[in-house]
Amino acid sequence: MLLGRHLGPRAGARRPLLADRGGDPPRAVAGRHPGGVHARLRQDQQVRREGGGGQRQRHPVPHRHGRGLGRRGRPRPVQPAGAAPHGARRLRREGAALGLHDAPPLRRGAEGVRPAAALLPALVPAFVAAVSAPGGGAAAATYADLHYGPAQLQSLDLHVPEGGGPAPVVVFFHGGAFVGGDKHPCAPQLVAMLAARHIAFACADYRLAPDAPYPAPMRDGARAVQWLRAHAADYGLDPARVGVMGMSAGAGIALWVAFRPDLAEPGAADPVLRQSTAVSAVVTGNAQATYDPADIRSRLHTDRLPRWLAQFYGAGSPAELDAPRFRGPEAEASPIANLHAGGPPVFSYYGHAPEALPPGSAPADYIHSPAQGDILAEVARERGAALTLRTAADTGGWRGFLAEAVAFFAGALGR
């Protein structure tokens, strides 16, 4: 919930609604429930809310087309392209999905989260500005929960603009510290703004740590790109013009896909794996420059590591990350380890104005700091990579970032 206390499910079985109190049972009356109409209502609520062990189940019955059912047994609706989200929880999820710096991840307990009640003053103006941006009414066909792999989280939502021939596509990866977040709902205002330029938009889920540590999230990002290329003709996409976009952890996935060697396997039995993972442009928001503890200590001048970083690598705690077995993955996963000349152009945005980052900073202070962007820009200059660094001070805020990001994609993808 956005405001108020979290009302989670209660552990263990609940007490029977009509407990034995030692007296006579309620007298049955024709046409009435024993104990009165209120007891019947309470019992109905208990049946709806309780699964095994007294736990509340949000979507207990699968939909016949694969989507979960809502609280009243109806299929989960697909957010219409260009439609404004409604309700406080929807507003919070929208901000988190887009990586607005004031929006918390969807899972509780993540590093660097502001109290939810503090979000409204920051989210409402940005949200109203974003949905009123030019192109807000562009039409797009929506395809929900398309599976690009066998795992439940290997799915994406695809929004394709109507008419105009094969469309370039931007693939978006949500944030959430590699341990949380999801693709619902995914940036309806950005869908509409891209659709106005005849650019399709795919919002992808990916497997999460600790169940699926590195390189699973990155490999999923690459496979999503390959799957869209393999099925481009089915959905009216141009496989030669693909961009990637991500916020926070999703930015790390986008940069990994863009700058790692092409993962195409021409001789693979799986036709998806035969496709290229090369992309034409990258947009990131609040990206981390490195996932290497040694780099964090030397470049950000702190030895305070977030818990999710250990989960990302499959370690039990941050202290284990200095073990030799993690050195290879740590060096391979980090964006600054992969930046090189000849890669796609990068537009990197941070939702804070630049400010000094003191030594010994906590993860909450440095994870989304523009200091991360300074590191990315410095390494890009050293290696001849094309990277544009922007902050909220440069764009005037969220609306300016969206406008610049869409223009960047339009130029790189020929729209």
More confident call, 325 vs 188: 325
pLDDT band at 389 (very low <50, low <70, confident <90, very high): very high
pLDDT the model gives residue 138: 58
Tens of pLDDT, residue by residue over 41-52, are 344 444 333 433
pLDDT at 360 over 70: yes
Q: State how far the Cα of 266 lies from the Cα of 252, in Å rounded to an integer.
A: 26
Q: State how far the Cα of 341 lies from the Cα of 75, in Å rounded to an integer.
A: 47
Within 79-169, residue ranges assigned H as helices are 88-98, 120-131
pLDDT the model gives residue 25: 39
pLDDT at 53 over 50: no
With contact defined as beta carbons under 8 Å apart, do 110 and 308 qualify?
A: yes
Mean pLDDT of 272-292: 98
pLDDT the model gives residue 58: 39
pLDDT at 80 over 60: no
pLDDT at 327 over 80: yes
pLDDT band at 35 (very low <50, low <70, confident <90, very high): very low
Lowest-confidence pick of 126-140, 174-188, 391-405: 126-140
**Beta bridge partners of residue 295, listed in sequence order:** none
CA-CA-CA-CA torsion sign (171, 383, 295, 214): positive
Mean pLDDT of 251-268: 98
With contact defined as beta carbons under 8 Å apart, do 102 and 351 qualify?
A: yes
Q: State how far the Cα of 9 lies from the Cα of 187, in Å rounded to an integer.
A: 29
Mean pLDDT of 1-20: 36
Averaged confidence pLDDT in the chain: 77
Tens of pLDDT, residue by residue over 133-182, are 444 455 779 999 999 999 999 999 999 999 889 999 999 999 999 999 99
With contact defined as beta carbons under 8 Å apart, do 255 and 334 qualify?
A: no
Q: What are the structural domains of the chain?
A: 88-412 (3.40.50.1820)
pLDDT the model gives residue 185: 72
Q: State how far the Cα of 313 lies from the Cα of 300, in Å rounded to an integer.
A: 20
Mean pLDDT of 305-310: 98
Percent of the chain with pLDDT over 90: 62
pLDDT the model gives residue 186: 80
More confident call, 89 vs 369: 369
With contact defined as beta carbons under 8 Å apart, do 280 and 318 qualify?
A: no
pLDDT the model gives residue 415: 84
More confident call, 64 vs 396: 396
pLDDT band at 106 (very low <50, low <70, confident <90, very high): very low
Contacts of 113 (CB under 8 A, 6+ apart): 104, 105, 364
